[in-house]
Chains A and B, each alone.
Chain A
């Protein structure tokens, strides 16, 4: 451990740290664009230049190993002058089209321009570069906004390992481009839009959807696979709820999903399926309770279910691996000893899915298989003469369950050859708090994003009433 003096403040550093890492860990702000804690050091943006022991030549803090007796100044006049110069160089050919830029509001360039840029704007005509260029079907690239920090390039080389992006051309003509004419089909591609410090890489599904300051993130968990990555679900902020006709859909809209840094489980990355979780959760919902296919009130449904349960000779339940730990516990307490419990995987890998890889994606496409196994063991359903089956969740062919009476607790509509005798709509995990246990046994909690629709029931509360 070496002591380091930054702006007359002595801090303790860890072995092998650079000045920038140590400063950031102690809450000292040194501006940086190209530095990312999970990527290699590029040292190309030059905004993190600092003065070392009063020497005239400035050094980039991101690539500066700490040596004993080091004294760093982050706010001396040469440093401020260098930052002003670098900010001016970066904004030289920047189109300053923040008005139509999705990144505006969370853009590091805007932040630093206010904080550190002080040179007069250059009035020379700007050089143009490709704008809104399709990097892939999911991502647009804006060469004019790009500051060529190479974070995205390093991401494909060091994290996703596809080597599909590179910086082509030279000097001021440099561009981020796909290499070898390949398509940019990296399963983690959308992460580059998150790590891009400026608005150069944009997600197509969020393009012009909303200004980011109208949105607020809710911490949640991705249900795409057993990894259970931490995510932020961005919805319209509570200060900015819309009123008036047609506003309900926008207020309940998932604007985007971004990764939430969780070093324990996923680090700062998630896969593209996680980024698409909004679409997955916006499928048509089951919103009304039905008995025998016709609408009924919730009390009628509960009464009918309770009656059927008490009459049944051999009742069984297929529990959902998309259910939270809390719901599973409530189920076990309320009904666990009254019926035979079978476990299952709700969702299987689909045709175009990546089954499993060495980075994040797991073959088990359900978030809480581990939690189910912990409570009920591993008991796949075998067709054994049950006269009543409670089917919890999706992914079960009701026709395959034979002649038994079926009570279906469903969130999403699914095409079925046979309709369940009783359908009870239940909430999705976006509508309640809870936790999942991932394949490594790590619990990950999610918060409530939206209120549940009126007739939809929380499964956990429902079991107590049966």
Chain B
């Protein structure tokens, strides 16, 4: 087994504390960086490591940092901890067991980006993660790793923690900082991009929790060690949260490029009750679905999944076994997106609700012949025409489910009931 960045310690009752974190080498990367490295060196190291965003889009972190004008009077760093994608539960683990890793990563990133005030926007529903984070914050302030003149280096940094109000859309970077500013979490139109004008109209970097938590390891072990893991274009390890119909659902840290089949059948113990695999959603509910024949060859990295026209997303693997009604599953997803659409721009506001109406009608047995064509037309009207990616996220599962499981949908519409036993049995 290759080296691990997160799962490198046994979880015990006090493994999340500062003392335990320091015992396993915590905050040494910070000390090294503050004493021996210039901010630009930290950025270069991250750039060289090839670290890519772990939140879903997979944008190279080093490039994102390099777009920011560090000489601007104020630069902000936001940690996107609004983990709301159905099927994703990786950031939660980091907060619960290794908050310090994130905090150290944020201080390092702040140092590289010349950030005085950084923000953590944590999902409102997170309770234990929030309490663990706040415990860690008070420990860190007491230990002097945050605040004025950190470790005598002259570098000062503060982290503020903001709790979200329960909106999925606030995980989108621009609505995240709009929410931090105190407004309703509406995404903003780009341009201006956050790197130019973000939080409080200052250059802003928004990074995922896992992305930032990778930084201390990169600084401690070097970019080369990091890029040795994973694939060439998508290096490192990633946390995969496997849920659904597997024998052992849970969180796994695996190098990128890991075979999906191996993850499901070896690490997770195969499909629940020895059933057949029906489909896999590889990276959170908005990513296009994979069929069993794709699972045979798919590897978990952005490039390989792109050949299957899907995405790595946030690493929330949802496994679906045979006997599951895809129409009902799609209804669950479309209801989620209709509920979470912020309502700012027309296509997403009306389209997501309309798709949900049509799918719910089909599920109620009242579907009619042109419904699937309508759905296809609606997805075309939404995709690419919205302010943020939520519109795309809402339409992608719809168009995918319809194309890949057309017979099931046709059957449901024709007979008014499901082809399968119709229950999401777990």
State in angstroms the CA–CA spacing of A122 and B373 once bound together: 13
In the assembled complex, B259 has its CB within 8 A of some CB on chain A: no
Contacts of A169 in B (CB 8 A): 343
Q: How far is the CB of A47 from chain B (nearest CB, A)?
A: 8
Contacts of A46 in B (CB 8 A): 345-347, 385-387
CB within 8 A of A167: which of B167, B184, B347, B377?
Answer: B184
In the assembled complex, A88 has its CB within 8 A of some CB on chain B: yes
Q: Mark A87-121, 1 if CB is under 8 A from B, else 0.
A: 01110110000000000000000000000000100
Which residue of B has the minimal Cβ distance to A78?
B384
Contacts of B387 in A (CB 8 A): 43-44, 46
State in angstroms the CA–CA spacing of A60 and B344 once bound together: 14
Q: How far is the CB of B339 from chain A (nearest CB, A)?
A: 7
Contact A172–B350 (Cβ < 8 Å): yes
In the assembled complex, B46 has its CB within 8 A of some CB on chain A: no
Contact A90–B353 (Cβ < 8 Å): no
Contact A44–B346 (Cβ < 8 Å): yes
State in angstroms the CA–CA spacing of A172 and B340 once bound together: 10
Contacts of B386 in A (CB 8 A): 46
In the assembled complex, B88 has its CB within 8 A of some CB on chain A: no
State in angstroms the CA–CA spacing of A131 and B237 once bound together: 54
Name the residue in B184, B352, B358, B385 with the highest tally of chain A Cβ atoms < 10 Å from its Cβ. B385
State in angstroms the CA–CA spacing of A46 and B391 once bound together: 12
State in angstroms the CA–CA spacing of A56 and B380 once bound together: 12
Contact B345–A45 (Cβ < 8 Å): yes
In the assembled complex, A81 has its CB within 8 A of some CB on chain B: yes
Q: How far is the CB of B296 from chain A (nearest CB, A)?
A: 32
State in angstroms the CA–CA spacing of A171 and B343 once bound together: 4
Contact B381–A172 (Cβ < 8 Å): no
State in angstroms the CA–CA spacing of A49 and B339 once bound together: 25
In the assembled complex, A25 has its CB within 8 A of some CB on chain B: no
State in angstroms the CA–CA spacing of A299 and B167 once bound together: 78
State in angstroms the CA–CA spacing of A63 and B382 once bound together: 18
Which residue of B has the minimal Cβ distance to A86?
B346
Which residue of A has the minimal Cβ distance to B378?
A85
Contact A124–B341 (Cβ < 8 Å): no
Contacts of B184 in A (CB 8 A): 166-167
In the assembled complex, A11 has its CB within 8 A of some CB on chain B: no
State in angstroms the CA–CA spacing of A396 and B382 once bound together: 65
Contacts of A124 in B (CB 8 A): 354, 357-358, 361
Contact B349–A171 (Cβ < 8 Å): yes
In the assembled complex, B342 has its CB within 8 A of some CB on chain A: yes
Contact B343–A170 (Cβ < 8 Å): yes
Q: Which of A158-182 contact B (CB under 8 A)?
A: 166-167, 169-174
Q: How far is the CB of A463 from chain B (nearest CB, A)?
A: 60
Contact B385–A148 (Cβ < 8 Å): no
Contact A148–B349 (Cβ < 8 Å): yes
In the assembled complex, A58 has its CB within 8 A of some CB on chain B: yes
Contacts of B340 in A (CB 8 A): 170-171
In the assembled complex, A147 has its CB within 8 A of some CB on chain B: yes
In the assembled complex, B191 has its CB within 8 A of some CB on chain A: yes
CB within 8 A of B189: which of A43, A147, A171?
Answer: A43
Total interface residues on B, CB under 8 Å, equals 32
Which residue of A has the minimal Cβ distance to B342?
A170
Q: How far is the CB of B78 from chain A (nearest CB, A)?
A: 22
State in angstroms the CA–CA spacing of A297 and B386 once bound together: 72
In the assembled complex, B338 has its CB within 8 A of some CB on chain A: yes
Which residue of A has the minimal Cβ distance to B352?
A171
Contact B346–A89 (Cβ < 8 Å): yes
State in angstroms the CA–CA spacing of A56 and B382 once bound together: 14
Q: Which of B350-384 contact A (CB under 8 A)?
A: 350-354, 357-358, 361, 377-378, 380-382, 384
Instruction: Known A43-B189, A57-B384, A85-B381; judge A171-B353 contact (CB<8 A).
Output: yes
Contacts of A70 in B (CB 8 A): none
In the assembled complex, A82 has its CB within 8 A of some CB on chain B: yes
Contacts of A58 in B (CB 8 A): 384-385
In the assembled complex, A41 has its CB within 8 A of some CB on chain B: yes
Contacts of B358 in A (CB 8 A): 124
Q: How far is the CB of B406 from chain A (nearest CB, A)?
A: 22
Instruction: Known A58-B385, A82-B385, A171-B338; judge A89-B350 contact (CB<8 A).
Output: yes
Q: How far is the CB of A11 from chain B (nearest CB, A)?
A: 21
Which residue of B has the minimal Cβ distance to A43?
B189
Contact B357–A148 (Cβ < 8 Å): no
Q: Mark A21-51, 1 if CB is under 8 A from B, else 0.
A: 0000000000000000000010111110100
Contacts of B353 in A (CB 8 A): 127, 171-172
Contacts of A89 in B (CB 8 A): 346-347, 349-351, 354, 381
In the assembled complex, A380 has its CB within 8 A of some CB on chain B: no
Contacts of A82 in B (CB 8 A): 381, 385
In the assembled complex, A65 has its CB within 8 A of some CB on chain B: yes
Contact B189–A60 (Cβ < 8 Å): yes
Q: How far is the CB of B343 from chain A (nearest CB, A)?
A: 4
Contact A41–B189 (Cβ < 8 Å): yes
CB within 8 A of B343: which of A122, A148, A166?
Answer: A148
Name the residue in B191, B338, B345 with the highest tally of chain A Cβ atoms < 10 Å from its Cβ. B345
Contact A63–B191 (Cβ < 8 Å): yes
Name the residue in B167, B342, B349, B352 with the highest tally of chain A Cβ atoms < 10 Å from its Cβ. B349
Contact B350–A93 (Cβ < 8 Å): yes
State in angstroms the CA–CA spacing of A235 and B342 once bound together: 42
Contact A171–B339 (Cβ < 8 Å): yes
Q: How far is the CB of A66 from chain B (nearest CB, A)?
A: 12
State in angstroms the CA–CA spacing of A327 and B338 once bound together: 64
Q: How far is the CB of B246 from chain A (nearest CB, A)?
A: 32
Q: Mark A135-152, 1 if CB is under 8 A from B, else 0.
A: 000000000000110000
Which residue of B has the minimal Cβ distance to A125?
B357
Contacts of A171 in B (CB 8 A): 338-343, 349, 352-353
State in angstroms the CA–CA spacing of A174 and B350 once bound together: 11
State in angstroms the CA–CA spacing of A167 and B345 once bound together: 12
Q: Mark B256-274, 1 if CB is under 8 A from A, else 0.
A: 0000000000000000000
Contacts of A92 in B (CB 8 A): 350, 354
Contact A173–B384 (Cβ < 8 Å): no
State in angstroms the CA–CA spacing of A45 and B377 once bound together: 19
Contacts of B351 in A (CB 8 A): 89
State in angstroms the CA–CA spacing of A47 and B167 once bound together: 26
State in angstroms the CA–CA spacing of A140 and B344 once bound together: 22
Q: How far is the CB of B355 from chain A (nearest CB, A)?
A: 11
Q: Mark A171-204, 1 if CB is under 8 A from B, else 0.
A: 1111000000000000000000000000000000
> A46-B385, A171-B339 given. 19 additional CB < 8 A pairs?
A46-B387, A47-B346, A58-B385, A65-B191, A84-B381, A85-B347, A85-B380, A89-B350, A90-B346, A119-B377, A124-B358, A148-B343, A166-B184, A170-B167, A170-B340, A171-B338, A171-B343, A171-B353, A172-B341
Could you list some 28 contacts between A and B, CB below 8 A? A43-B387, A44-B344, A44-B346, A45-B346, A46-B345, A46-B346, A46-B386, A56-B384, A57-B384, A58-B384, A63-B189, A81-B380, A86-B347, A89-B347, A89-B354, A89-B381, A90-B350, A92-B354, A122-B354, A124-B357, A124-B361, A148-B346, A170-B167, A170-B339, A171-B343, A171-B349, A171-B352, A172-B338
The 7 closest A-B pairs by CB, nearest first: A85-B381, A174-B343, A172-B353, A89-B350, A43-B189, A171-B341, A63-B189
| A interface residues with partner B (beta carbon < 8 Å) | 41, 43-47, 49, 56-58, 60, 63, 65, 81-82, 84-86, 88-90, 92-93, 119, 122, 124, 127, 147-148, 166-167, 169-174
| B interface residues with partner A (beta carbon < 8 Å) | 167, 184, 189, 191, 338-347, 349-354, 357-358, 361, 377-378, 380-382, 384-387
